[in-house]
Structure 1
Amino acid sequence: MPADAPGAEAGEVASETYLLGLSLEALTEWVQAHGQPAYRGKQLHNWLYKKGARSLQDITVFPKAWRQAMSQVVIGRSTLHHRAVARDGTVKYLLRLGDGQIIETVGIPSANRLTVCVSSQVGCPMACDFCATGKGGFLRNLYCHEIVDQVLTVQADFGQRVSHIVFMGMGEPLLNTDSVVAAIRCLNQDVGISQRAITLSTVGLPGRIRKLADEQLQVTLAVSLHASNQAQRLQLIPSAKAYPLETLLDECRDYVKLTGRRVSFEYILLAGLNDQPRHAAELAQHLRGFQSHVNLIPYNPIDEADYQRPSEASISSFVAALESRHIAVSVRYSRGLEENAACGQLRASKGNLAAAGSDTTTLG
């Protein structure tokens, strides 16, 4: 499996420096190194993270001659390649990165919040059998600025402050821990989003959950189980071969001890496969005495797999079986289904553009 991207520190890609992702202190040092007084750092920080500047030319408080002299400096913003709006108001974005790669981001509005579902990789190497992203393969990790940009893009498009972030888009976040952690700190300290309003989802990788615990973040960890036993998990998640269910759960218990934060377990309900009361009873046995919460997700169909969405009766029976065993549980009904913007449906492909409905806007 790919290691964390080299050179994936905040604001840095290979030998090229990007301003997005840098802290106030780093931006102040940068402007001073380029002949400007220290107070320009605070102005730059404000224009990047509050006003959403896409280039130095946008920052009109800077001297015009200096902006022209620095015209080759790249802030690190993506360009909007495609935008699709679902009937429920969910918006799916295809964003073109600096190297031409395309990723998906989703804006999910509700009465009192705006949630952004962000990607952490271009594609995904985990190849989960029910997930569209994994069917498309893996290209590379995202850098800090490319993650932060997704949130700023959605915020600008909605004209509304983003309140919540979920790392549930394309990719496995714990295969890109350095960039993801840097982005979380930037989104918290520079954009102003509470860490407690950020959820990081992972299928689990040996040692990576403990590594995340060492960062002492206040985010919610969501672990994708999707099965109540190791044999069934192997069928759905190929990487489970190297990471038995009991070992994964032991590492999750360590995470709770080290951080004091409970773990949320995601479980996609697949009709006739893992949605029976006996599966619920088996899952409850694994989670007995655990500071946790189970988030049930009725399967969202994709063209590449033959799984079926369970009936409402099956969902209710599964919930009842968990509740009777004193397991905290909720059901998440995904938004944006008809625009392939729901959980497990994200993929950046030409076919996605062709499949978009009439309620779309395409730019650039």
Structure 2
Amino acid sequence: MKVALLGLFVQEIAAVIKPFGLPAYRASQLVNWIYKQHVTDFSAMINLPKSMRTLLAEHFTVREYELQTVWQSGDGKTSKYLLRFPDQSAVETVLMRQSYGNSVCVSTQVGCAMGCIFCASTLQGMTRNLTCGEIMAQVLHIESLLAQEGQKVDSIVIMGMGEPLANYENVVKFIRLCHEEYGLHLSYRSITLSTSGLVPEIERLAQEGLPITLSISLHAANDTSRSTLMPVNKRYPIAGLLAAGDRYAAQTGRRVTYEYTLIAERNDRVSDAKELAKLLRGRLANVNLIPVNPVPERGLLRPGAEAIKRFEQTLLAHNINVTVRREMGADIQAACGQLRKKHLENH
């Protein structure tokens, strides 16, 4: 079985090519071709001897996937890609062209096991974790497309399909690789990770020395309500989750974002906003309000514009930093899991 080089640090590439008599400096050439030049065919790596290119092709691959589907939003600002790996697993990646740059949303698992009732990713359950290389392939696919326009990936959000912290080792390696100068050379502050609230892993992440933005899915201000929306709350209730968020903020100096999906007649009342404000008062935190993307199987409805505004104003009146997520790609079902679900239904 061939070894995939994508997803490996330069030192790891040097180690895997060494048994074939290749010196360590060749690893530096390889990472430049793979991460900077987006080359996937060894035969195109022209500063390597032809015999070496043949040897590499016999024993290694760069990255393996097929582009299954592309959906483009009507305004041209959002593109959604369905990538399929050799085992037929398919994952979604989204490019969002924002005013502040190009942002890529990556998936970390094939499906999701968390069972949040407002999300399409979890409808078919979880198949497997993605490797570091498979996560990186999503970014490099888009980076190579942007390069043709003289642009690049400016930020990454790890909040596509799957629970990132349930695939801890691969995700942390991916983050470090994105930061490497020979990788994407992204600032850690340009990377956001969203979790449903795995407390032990949040604690562990705080010790990694990675000052990334942590985004915690809260979606309710009390355990009774949150447990009906997110089964993970039964294992890690709100008090312990907020304590972990506080420790992350103290350790990294980064403000924690609490995501709150607004669902009509479930958690969008003024009383819910006041309860949320009381919960977050005095914390190094802000709230990101997300009007729910309707998933037909779930029967959950998006609140009206007045209800969304009222919720936001209530938080602001209680001195809570709040933003309302600007909707992108609704016309192409850019919410997590929707494109993969449609693909599975058609095959």
Q: TM-score range by the shorter chain?
A: over 0.9
8 Å contact 1:301–1:345 — kept in the other structure?
no
- The CA deviation at 1:240 is 1.0
- Which amino acid is 2:340 matched to? A
Name the amino acid aligned to 1:86. S
Give the gaps of 5 or more residues in structure 1. 1-14, 356-364
Deviation at residue 29 of structure 1 after TM alignment: 4.0
Measure, in 2, the Cα distance between the counterparts of 1:83 and 1:347.
Answer: 9
Give, as a single letter, the amino acid of the residue that structure 1 aligns with 2:93. Answer: T
Residue 294 (structure 1) aligns with: 287
Tell me the distance in 2 between the aligned counterparts of 1:227 and 1:273: 9
Q: Distance in 2 between matches of 1:130 and 1:295?
A: 16
> Match of 1:8?
none
Map of 1:360 onto structure 2: none
Cα deviation for residue 352 of structure 1 reads: 6.6
Contact in 2 for aligned 1:126/1:238 (Cα 8 Å)? yes
| Unmatched 5+ stretches in structure 2 | none
Partners of 2:86 and 2:284 in 1: CA distance: 42
Provide the identity percentage: 41
1:30-83 CA-to-partner distances (Å, cap 9, x unmatched) read 444433344322211110101111132231221122212332311134221111
**What corresponds to 1:137 in structure 2?**
125
Structure 2 residue 46 is matched with structure 1 residue 60: yes
1:200 corresponds to which residue? 193
Contact 1:78 1:97 in 2 (8 A): yes
User: Could you give the per-residue CA deviations for residues 66-107 of structure 1, whole angstroms, max 9, x where no partner exists?
Assistant: 212332311134221111111122111110113221111111
Q: Which amino acid aligns with 1:178?
A: E
Contact 2:161/2:337 (<8 A) preserved = no
In 1, are the aligned partners of 2:92 and 2:337 still within 8 Å (CA)? no
Aligned amino acid, residue 205 of structure 1:
L
Alignment equivalent of 1:39, drawn from 25, 29, 33? 25
Distance in 2 separating the partners of 1:214 and 1:346: 34
Work out which of the residue numbers 93, 96, 121 in structure 1 matches 2:84: 96
Q: Which amino acid aligns with 2:29?
A: Q
What amino acid maps onto 1:145 in structure 2?
G
- Structure-2 residue corresponding to 1:150: 138
Q: Residue 340 of structure 2 aligns with which residue?
A: 348
Distance 1:353 1:110 in 2: 31
Secondary structure of the residue aligned to 2:121 is helix
Aligned residues: 340
Indicate the SS of the match to 1:21: coil
- 1:166 alignment counterpart: 157
Runs of 4+ in 1 over 6 A off after TM superposition: none
Bigger RCO (CA 8 Å, 6+ sep)? 1
Root mean square deviation, CA, Å: 1.8
- How far has the Cα of 1:271 moved from its partner? 1.2
- Residues 170-181 of structure 1 correspond to what in structure 2 (within 5 A)? 170-181=161-172
Equivalent position of 1:182 in the other structure: 173
Does residue 21 (structure 1) correspond to residue 13 (structure 2)? The answer is no
